[in-house]
Each structure stands twice: as structure tokens, then as C-alpha cells.
Structure 1
Amino acid sequence: MSYPTTETLRDRAVAALERCGADPAAFGGGAAARSPITGAEVLPVGHASAADADAAIGRAEAAFRVWRTTPAPARGALVRRFGELLREHKSDLADLVTIEVGKSRSEAAGEVQEMIDVCEFAVGLSRQLYGRTMPSERPGHRLMETWHPLGVVGVVTAFNFPVAVWSWNTAVALVCGNTVVWKPSELAPLTALGCHALLARAAAEAGAPADVHQVVLGGAEVGGRLVDDSRVALLSATGSVRMGREVGPRVAARFGRSLLELGGNNAAVVTDSADLDLAVRGVVFAAAGTAGQRCTSLRRLIVHEDVADALVDRVVDAYSKLRIGDPFDDSTLVGPLIGPGAYEAMRGALRRAEEAGGTVLVGGGRRLAETAPGAYYAEPAVVRMPVQAEVVREETFAPILYVLTYSDFDEAVALHNAVPQGLSSSVFTRDQREAERFLAADGSDCGIVNVNIGTSGAEIGGAFGGEKETGGGRESGSDSWRAYMRRATNTVNFSEELPLAQGVSFL
């Protein structure tokens, strides 16, 4: 397998950005976009200062005063045009995702498709921002609710889905009448600049305010301005539990709203009645796909003791055949980790697992250190654990799959729920009673609960998010749009009398 040089990656990134309408020469300096494919710098990028972030919020606030009174279907026209441009530039944005994050071509293209899909969803939503009319207890009165835009929405995204999660928030926020200030991951500035250029073009063509969307590149200082500025009505932040513990109270202290998508420690229960062919396919993609760097990646496999050996043998065999390497090669299934810190965290977790009595059955090593010395290609690991030790209860953002066994379904559910996180879960079973139990109130305690599919690969039509330390936020589909709007309860008196509610008499 041949590997692209850093120069090749740079040329490819510049070409993609230019086709999207972003000017690479205008990036400035002070920082650099790196590629985990080679571990080297690809392009210089400029970082915003705290003052730049303040100014961006101010421009978005001014644009909001125009945008909030624009009819919702007209707001949908902007998102429709943006979706069309995403279709035209799907390959360009997929290139940028692969260069900056190391996703395989298939997964990178899938992420851009997710953006296109959520734009279609949001365009339909622009004609469905429904309120309710309720019966009034007073004659000649009408009781109803209406929904209004919030204001400026701050969006802070993580590296692993550098564009999809932003689009979930932005497409919905825009049709709801908000403006957006985006602080992308420091590890993925190029994808952000490409997306922003396309959205700016869509805004110009749709006649929307030029400042309806702002992007600010930078680190914690820039993100902190979005957290603390009272002009940011809603802050949607994706990242670690540690980040959420800091961000949530600060936003709450100024009585702002926050939407948090934090850690996941996702598990699949495989029962003795499961279709093992189906389970193997679901487990391997969920655990090894994206090099284990999805918030919905499968990290714990809870298997009935009667089928554990057979299932584990098949998973280990599949792992030994995974194609690891250059994500631009169509045959590659597992690309690089984002950087050395991720690999060090993986090795540390494996050491702790072994100290707790675990046995590494496959993987855990580093590949291609001579071919790409600055990059970290890790072999996805499977670890058989005697108990759910503390290291298993923690999220390690790397391809480690811990295997635990159970004898009774209640035990499996208890093992599943005995972690602080609550994002995604699944059960593989042919027994309808087990499936329904897992979906019930005393079953999985996660925000996403699947039957006979893996934990990753959510569709945009359903609300995405989790419980417990995952933060409780919901994005994308269903009625998650309500998080981006404020509700007003209205009473209209069309009579000539003024009766009071609850039969109160006054005057």
C-alpha cells in the first residue's frame, strides 16, 4: 500500500478549498492544520483572538434582528441552496475530512451525505414549526402557543465528526430563525473553512444576511467567549465529559441554554438466541470503524456465556483481517488515530485492563511506524475481561473492545447500565421479550437503544443524544428543533367580557 506524501495532501486540500470558494492564501498564520495520515502539517491557518470572537458574536446578533422576522419557508430556501452546494462539493469536503481526521473515503463521504440529509430535513421543518391550540376554560377566549427564534447559537464541535454535527445544529438553527457562530475543533479547521465558504455563497444567493453564519478558528480562549457571552442564547457543545462539566455551569450561571453531547461508553448485549453472523458484522463495524473514534463506538461487548467463545473467536478472526492504512485507499477499513495522545491513551488503557485481569486477544500494537513515523495507526484490540473494572467504565477514545460475559438477562442489563455514560446501546437477540425488555423503562438507560444493529451509524431523522454524563442534549431529527426556539403561551380574548381563570372574582 502506497501512502500520499504531505505535499500531495497539501495540494489536494488546497484544490478542494478553492473549489469550495475558500481562499487558502487568506488563512494567515499562527497555527497549522495537520493530517493524521502522515502526522505532518498541511497548511497554515490563522487563529481568532478573543476580540475576534466578540466581534463575530456582535455581527451574528445584528444579523439575527433581520433573520428572525424572515418567514421560516424563506429561511428554508437558504438551507435548501446550501444542501445543493453540498451535493456539488461532496467529494471536496470528503477529501478535507479524510485529510484532517483520517476517516476512510467511505466514512468521509458518508459524513458529508449526513449534512445533505439534515439539510433536506431542515427544509421540510421550515414549514412545520408547529405550535398548539388548547381549549380555554373561559368563554370567548383562545389559548395557544407560538415558537420564536432564540438569537445567536454558538456551536462548538469535536474533531471526530468535524462537519456533520455542525450541520445538525446549523441547518436546524437557521430555519428556526437563529444565527450561528461556529468554533470548530482545532484539529479540523480546513473542513470548517470549506463549509463556511459554501454556506456564505448560499446566503448570498438566497438573499440572506451576510453575517447569518460566522466561523472563528481558535482554542479554549475563543470557545470560552461563546460560553460566557450573554449574547449567545444557546451553546451547543460536543466534546468530553470534562469539557461539559466546565461549560454547563458557566452557561447556566448567566441563565443561558446549553445543549451538551459528551462522552459515550457504549455496549452491545449479545444473547444466546442471537444471529451470530449479524452480531459479528454489527460489532466489528461499531467497534473498529473510524478507528474507534466515534462517540457511539462500541466499547463493551456483553455476551451470554453459552455463545461467548464462538462469538469472540469470530470477532477476533475478523479483527485480524482488518485492512489498516491509508484512508484514501478504497480497500482500507481502519485509518489512523488522530494523534500520539490517542495512541498513548489506548496503550495506557490496555495496561490497566491487563492489571485488572484482562487478556488482550488481538491488536493493541502500532502499524506503519516506519512508513509514516509521524502517524499513529493502531491495531483495534479485543480484551476479554473477568469483571467490569474501572478502566472498562471509562471512555478511551480508541479502538478497544472489552468483552464481558453474563448468564441471566437481568445481569446483562445491570452490567450495561453500570457506567456513568448513557449514549448508545444495542441488543442482538431473536427473542422478542428480550428485545422489548431492553427497550423498556427498566432496560437500557441510554438515549439511543437499538435492536439487532450496532451502536453507531445513527440516522438524522431521530433525535441524537444521551443521558447521564453524556449530557442529556438532543440534536438533528424528531422534535429537537424545540431546543433552538423559545415558547410563548398566548391567550386571545375575542369576547366583550373579561372573565378570570379559575373562577377568580376581582372588582
Structure 2
Amino acid sequence: MSDLNVVSISNARIPADPFVARHLIDGDWRSSTDGATFERVSPSHDAVVTVACRGNLLDVDAAISAARRAFDEGRWTATTGKDRATLLLKVADLIDRDRERIAFHETIESGKPISQAMAEIEGAADIWRYAASLARTLHGESHNSLGNDFLGLVLKEPVGVVSIITPWNFPFLIVSQKLPFALAAGCTAVIKPSEMTPATTVILGELLLEAGIPAGVANIVLGFGDPVGAALTTDKRVDMVTFTGSTAVGKAIVETAAGTLKKVSLELGGKNPQVIFPDAELDAAADAVVFGVYFNAGECCNSGSRIIVHEDIAEEFVARTVALSRLVPFGDPLDPSTKVGAIITPEHNNKIDTYVQEARATGASVPLGGKVLEVPGLRGRFYEPTVVTNVTGDMPIAREEVFGPVLSVLTFKTLDEAIALVNDADYGLSAGVWSENVHTCLEFARRALAGTIWTNTWMDGFAELPFGGVKQSGQGRELGKYGLDEFLEAKTVTMRIGKNREPWVSG
């Protein structure tokens, strides 16, 4: 352990009284109808930090009913783009005001570093402002080339009531990649955050009420996938489900939503490669690889969890990566210097370790890490920064989503071989290429099967650019104007403007 950069317990303290989270239904904060609650234990400090209401079918029914009434009565859909934008901008300002509070609760519930959480909340506010700009510029189309007797219109209308189901790894950021776009489109919503990270979504509900959102437009039901999530995907009063999480759950949602043929948008898993060519700027590439695999402790759908390195530089590049990995500050997420915090649950920690030990048992090497990390002064769940080499493409660690701070290393000889390795995966969320040759980068970008391609960088994102995957990484897009389009339906209006229609039946 002495050769790793471990951050011991900081001066920050967990509050003596846990955060109390309740449902937001039809503009009111409510307890569950049966009074049930559940606790969230901090993964980094092993203390109860949140007590949340545990939703049941009656609570879900009340929330969906409220959202349906609000939509059908036009409380939100009848407002102007200007009015919607004004409210979204107010929410963004309130997020900025409360950024420290939001980031703190996100950190103690999820285990992510406080500095990272602060940056994510800042980014979330920017997304709300971008969505506000879309609300002002939303428009349909007109077609005046259909002949003298016709005018064609294409109206863009809100899809209706939307179920928003969000994960535990980026709870505030991801709800902010969905809800403001749904609101900008004129939809109403019922939100279910992960049972492991409910607090920040509840805080967002507080800010929405403070900003003046009409009752029933945005509702929050806390609890577990069964029964809350399941009911949100099957109820016929819900017109659309947008979900971020595992591919397995995404497939289940598609099956359950099929009964009512509601629209489904999914942002799912990834096994994202970075390909490093010999002419790359290796120091920059190594830093990006380390960032890509350890960011959010690797609990990230965009994690750069596998690298594909040209065999001529593989040994040197792995050595650089291992050396840099030893410098990454792992430990107490409440310390501002920490870059990698705790693992979300004990079960997930065991899952990560199982992947590493199975790879080792089948011939892979582990030059760094490969076991549970102990942090002095903390009783939380951590995993060492881990690099796995001598990996072959058929190993589970090379193909499946580990969702932890574990880097798999494969090698290649030619561009064609590298592309084949990139595309030989069930996932297609993102991919990266490192080369000083623009032709190499462009060919890679065209041939790699992924929703996002990064060239000579990793995980830079902008509210203006769409995000989403292909293959089993999902369907639909978030962010950009495409993120708004997900929550809209196109309606055709064909207008006869002349009076010379030929009769179909003559009499």
C-alpha cells in the first residue's frame, strides 16, 4: 500500500442527523401511504446519511395521476417557450446558489470526490441554461411547395407524461440531462432516482418548487425498482420512459414498456476503448487513460476501461500508465484533494474483484492493484487502482462492463486490427483514438461503432453535443437539440387553401 497515493480521513464530518427525503407529488411533500422508509449508508464513511420514504404502488399512482392531470389540463403545455425558459433559468441559478449543499449530499451518498461533485453540479446548471435556450427556439416546419391549393405544417408537440429513471453514479447530472429537456418540450414528469442516491433529486425538487413550477408538472417518487420503477414503465398513462443504467435493466424496461408501446429512450452500458498509435503524444495519452479509467472510481458508463495499444509501444506505455496510476489520490471523498473515492456497495466491490481474479486465473497479469483498498480512519469500501495486462479479447474483463477502477490492456499491429478489436463488443457508447496523423483519426472516427468518438482527448462533453450509444449501449440521445427531440412528437397538418377540390363522388 505504501506505493499508492492514499488520502486518509479528512476534517469534514458526516452530519449527526441524516437527510430526510420524501416524495414530491402534485406540488406537495408526502410520506409513503404506508409510512415505509429506508436508509442509505455512506459507502465511504459507513454511516446512515439519508432516510428516505419507500414508495409503493399507491404513491406511484398518485404521482402519475398528478402528472397526467397537469399535462391534460395544460398547466405546463399551454405556457409559452419564454415562460418555460424563464423557469429553467431560475432553476439553474438556484442550483448555482446551492451547489455546495448538493455536492455534499451527492458525495456522502455515492462516495464520489467532493471536488468532482462540485464540478458536476456546475455542469448541470449549464445544461439547464442550454435547455432554456431550446425552449425559446422550439419550432416546427412549414411546406409551401405543395401546389397552390395546399399548405403543409409540421407541429412539434410534447410527447406527454414522461417517466424519468436515473442511476446512482451521476444522480444530479443525469437527471439534469433529462428533466430540463422534457420540461422545455412541454412534458410533465415522474422521476425515480436510484434508491442509493435519492437526496440530490429531492433537493432539485425543492428548487423546482422555489422557482415556481406548477403543481404536478414534476413529481418525485422514491424507492426501489420493484415496485416503483416497474410501475413507471407499465402504466398506460405514461407516454415515455427515459432510463439510464445497466443494459440488463434497459432490456427489461423495453419488454415491460412494450405492453403499451410507449416511447423508450435508453442510455446504457459501455466497454469503451482508447486506441493508442505509436505517433501519439504519449504523456497526454497516458494522462487521459488514467483519467478515463479512474474517474468516478470507474463507475461510469463512459469509463475508458480498455486500451488497445500498438505493440511497438505497449511495454513503454503500460509502464507510464502504471507509474501515473500510483500518483492518483484515492481515499476520503470529502477531502478536496481526492480524485477517486469509494465503491457504491460491498456487493459491487466484490463484483469488481471477481473480474480481476478471474482474469489473473486465466493468464492475465496484474502489475498494479488487484485488491480491496484500505483507507486509514475510514470503514468504507474502496478498490485499488488496477491495471491488467496480457488480456485477450475473449476474456470477460475485456468484453464486459466491470464498472470499477480497472484497466484492461490489449495490443494491436495494424489499424484494421485495432478497429476490429474496438467493434468486437456488444457495446458502442464511446471510443477514443490517439494519433498525430489526422487521416488516422478520421478513418477511426468513421469506422468505429460508437455514439461518441474522441480524438486526442477523452470524456470532454458539451451541452450542445448529443450523447448516446449504439448496439447494446442504448437508443436515443441526450443533450444537444437531439435531447429535446426525444421528448417531442411530430404532427402533420395538411391544409387546403383553395376551393377547387375535385369531388370524389359526382352526383
TM class by smaller structure = over 0.9
Aligned equivalents of 1:312, 1:363: Cα separation in 2 = 14
1:43 maps to what in 2? 50
Does residue 338 of the first structure (1) align with residue 344 of the second (2)? Answer: yes
Aligned equivalents of 1:415, 1:332: Cα separation in 2 = 34
Aligned equivalents of 1:39, 1:448: Cα separation in 2 = 37
Q: Deviations over 1:66-93 (max 9, x none)?
A: 2111112211111111111111111111
Secondary structure of the residue aligned to 1:127 is helix
Does residue 385 of the first structure (1) align with residue 393 of the second (2)? Answer: no
What is the deviation of 1:14?
Answer: 4.7
Secondary structure of the residue aligned to 1:268 is strand
What is the deviation of 1:371?
Answer: 3.0
Aligned equivalents of 1:152, 1:424: Cα separation in 2 = 30
2:62 alignment partner AA:
A
1:110 alignment partner AA:
A
1:485 alignment partner AA:
L
Aligned equivalents of 1:265, 1:296: Cα separation in 2 = 8
1:69 alignment partner AA:
A
1:468 alignment partner AA:
K
Aligned equivalents of 2:239, 2:137: Cα separation in 1 = 22
1:141 alignment partner AA:
F
2:452 alignment partner AA:
I
Q: Which moved more, 1:225-234 or 1:378-387?
A: 378-387
Larger helix fraction of residues: 1
Query: Does structure 2 retain, via aligned residues, the 8 Å contact 1:12–1:95?
Result: no
**Shift in alpha-carbon separation, 1:413–1:213, aligned structure 2, 3 A:** same
Query: Does structure 2 retain, via aligned residues, the 8 Å contact 1:151–1:233?
Result: yes
Does residue 321 of the first structure (1) align with residue 331 of the second (2)? Answer: no
1:223 maps to what in 2? 229
Aligned equivalents of 2:10, 2:418: Cα separation in 1 = 45
What is the deviation of 1:117?
Answer: 0.9
**Shift in alpha-carbon separation, 1:331–1:15, aligned structure 2, 3 A:** farther
1:33 alignment partner AA:
R
What is the deviation of 1:184?
Answer: 0.2
Matches within 5 A, 1:94-493: 94-203=103-212, 208-220=213-225, 221-368=227-374, 371-373=377-379, 375-391=380-396, 392-440=398-446, 443-454=447-458, 456-493=459-496
Aligned equivalents of 1:444, 1:12: Cα separation in 2 = 50
Query: Does structure 1 retain, via aligned residues, the 8 Å contact 2:8–2:331?
Result: no
What is the deviation of 1:390?
Answer: 3.2
2:114 alignment partner AA:
R
Q: Deviations over 1:186-223 (max 9, x none)?
A: 000111211111111112xxxx4222111000112101
Query: Does structure 1 retain, via aligned residues, the 8 Å contact 2:21–2:50?
Result: no
Aligned equivalents of 2:138, 2:309: Cα separation in 1 = 44
Matches within 5 A, 1:5-16: 8-11=13-16, 14=19
Q: Which moved more, 1:215-224 or 1:73-82?
A: 73-82
What is the deviation of 1:350?
Answer: 0.6
Secondary structure of the residue aligned to 2:353 is helix
Identical-residue share of aligned pairs (%): 32
1:201 alignment partner AA:
E
Aligned equivalents of 2:30, 2:122: Cα separation in 1 = 28
Q: Which moved more, 1:303-312 or 1:63-72?
A: 63-72
Query: Does structure 1 retain, via aligned residues, the 8 Å contact 2:21–2:51?
Result: no
1:216 alignment partner AA:
V
**Shift in alpha-carbon separation, 1:223–1:4, aligned structure 2, 3 A:** farther
Aligned equivalents of 1:499, 1:399: Cα separation in 2 = 71
TM-score, structure 2 as length reference? 0.92
What is the deviation of 1:365?
Answer: 2.1
The correspondence for 2:99, drawn from 90, 102, 122, is 90
Q: Deviations over 1:385-419 (max 9, x none)?
A: 34212311111111111000100011001001101
**Shift in alpha-carbon separation, 1:446–1:506, aligned structure 2, 3 A:** farther
What is the deviation of 1:380?
Answer: 1.5
2:3 maps to what in 1? none
Alignment: residue pair count:
490
What is the deviation of 1:2?
Answer: 4.8
Query: Does structure 1 retain, via aligned residues, the 8 Å contact 2:451–2:467?
Result: yes
Aligned equivalents of 1:408, 1:273: Cα separation in 2 = 13
**Shift in alpha-carbon separation, 1:9–1:458, aligned structure 2, 3 A:** same
Aligned equivalents of 2:400, 2:324: Cα separation in 1 = 25
What is the deviation of 1:234?
Answer: 0.8
Aligned equivalents of 2:467, 2:18: Cα separation in 1 = 30
Aligned equivalents of 1:37, 1:449: Cα separation in 2 = 33
1:58 maps to what in 2? 65
Secondary structure of the residue aligned to 1:478 is helix
Query: Does structure 2 retain, via aligned residues, the 8 Å contact 1:13–1:99?
Result: no
Aligned equivalents of 1:318, 1:342: Cα separation in 2 = 25
Query: Does structure 2 retain, via aligned residues, the 8 Å contact 1:200–1:213?
Result: no
Q: Deviations over 1:75-123 (max 9, x none)?
A: 1111111111111111111111111111112210121112111111111
Query: Does structure 1 retain, via aligned residues, the 8 Å contact 2:429–2:450?
Result: yes
Aligned equivalents of 2:505, 2:353: Cα separation in 1 = 73
Secondary structure of the residue aligned to 1:214 is strand
2:78 alignment partner AA:
T
What is the deviation of 1:285?
Answer: 0.6
1:345 alignment partner AA:
K
Aligned equivalents of 1:266, 1:469: Cα separation in 2 = 12
Aligned equivalents of 2:336, 2:39: Cα separation in 1 = 27
Aligned equivalents of 1:138, 1:506: Cα separation in 2 = 23
Q: Which moved more, 1:443-452 or 1:208-217?
A: 208-217
What is the deviation of 1:368?
Answer: 2.2
Query: Does structure 1 retain, via aligned residues, the 8 Å contact 2:55–2:222?
Result: yes
1:482 alignment partner AA:
D
1:498 maps to what in 2? 501
What is the deviation of 1:4?
Answer: 5.9
Aligned equivalents of 2:54, 2:42: Cα separation in 1 = 18
2:219 alignment partner AA:
Q
What is the deviation of 1:34?
Answer: 1.8
What is the deviation of 1:153?
Answer: 0.8
